[in-house]
Amino acid sequence: MVDRIDYDEFGLFHQNAEEYGLPFDAPPVVRRVGVEVAPGRNLSALVWGGGEPELVLLHGGAQNAHTWDTVALAVDRPLVAIDLPGHGHSDGPGPGPEGMLSLDANARDVAVVIAHLAPAARAVVGMSLGGLTTIALTEAAPELVRRVVLVDVLPGLKGERSKHITDFINGPQSFSSLDELLELTAQFNPTRSLSSLRRGILHNAEQQEDGTWVWRWARHRPQAAPRDSIPTEAADTFYDGLWESASAIAVPLLLVRGMRTDSVLGDEDEEELHRHVPTARVVHVEGAGHSVQGDSPLELAAIIEEFVFES
């Protein structure tokens, strides 16, 4: 008999609050909404709060909208966190060989969701694949982007720096148990609490009828691999053309850079940013690696608050 694991995606927020010492008088107002971006294709999003959304949050490759839960609790503003194509509860990418590797296609899909759910958002915050999608979004729908926050990503990402990420993503496609999945995840995230990693797995994987587990994004592997699983030798140049797009960004731009060794950026990347966007601001987060929202969510929330609402 298969041991089924109960999962309520809206029933874990108290754990985020408890782990980071955030007040939790009552569960937050969060609902899941689907938006049709093309006939028969929908993107899914988490809508936080009851007011007009003030932020849009885009996760990284092989993640999902719940990666922002602690940040959203700390910011405590109406916002929308979107599952990118092929991730979380969203449908896979559109037809064609590029699939999820097409940032332009991602941006067009995301633009439909933002126009529907958060047309007046003060900023778009994108981490990794979400950050590259945000850069593409500034060309696809500039009227929807009033400020840009890039979380530990820039164009021209060097493949050797992201090898630890590709190694994790290109690992087993299925797991015999939640414990096996947790053990592997802990090996790649030694600084995170087991409770935090377990929450992340429950949000980012699903149990099959036979009791095994698969990543939600892995369901779409036959169509295309996530951005972060581009082979190392290809990743060095695949997105270099995005620098031209970044150079044309006319709104305030902030880079939040994790400073641990598992960040994917180096000092030379920061220098490149300033060559292309001299007005860009940069904030270093010493205790964070690539996934700043998971490593230092309260610090990231404070950085977003200051850049978007106070500066």
d(CA 25, CA 88) in angstroms, rounded, equals 28
Catalytic positions are 128, 152, 290
Q: Which candidate, 141, 39, 138, places its Cα nearest to that of 95?
A: 39
Question: What would the two tokens of residue 113 be?
Answer: 């969701």
How many residues in the chain? 311
**Residue 105 tokens, joined:** 């296609």
> Where is 172: in which H helix or E strand?
none
> Using CA atoms in the order 114, 117, 118, 124, what is the torsion angle rounded to 10 degrees?
-40
Q: Which two tokens stand for residue 155?
A: 């164009």
Write the burial class of residue 154 (CB in 10 Å: 0-12 exposed, 13-18 middle, 19+ buried).
Answer: buried
* Cα gap 96→126, rounded to integer Å: 25
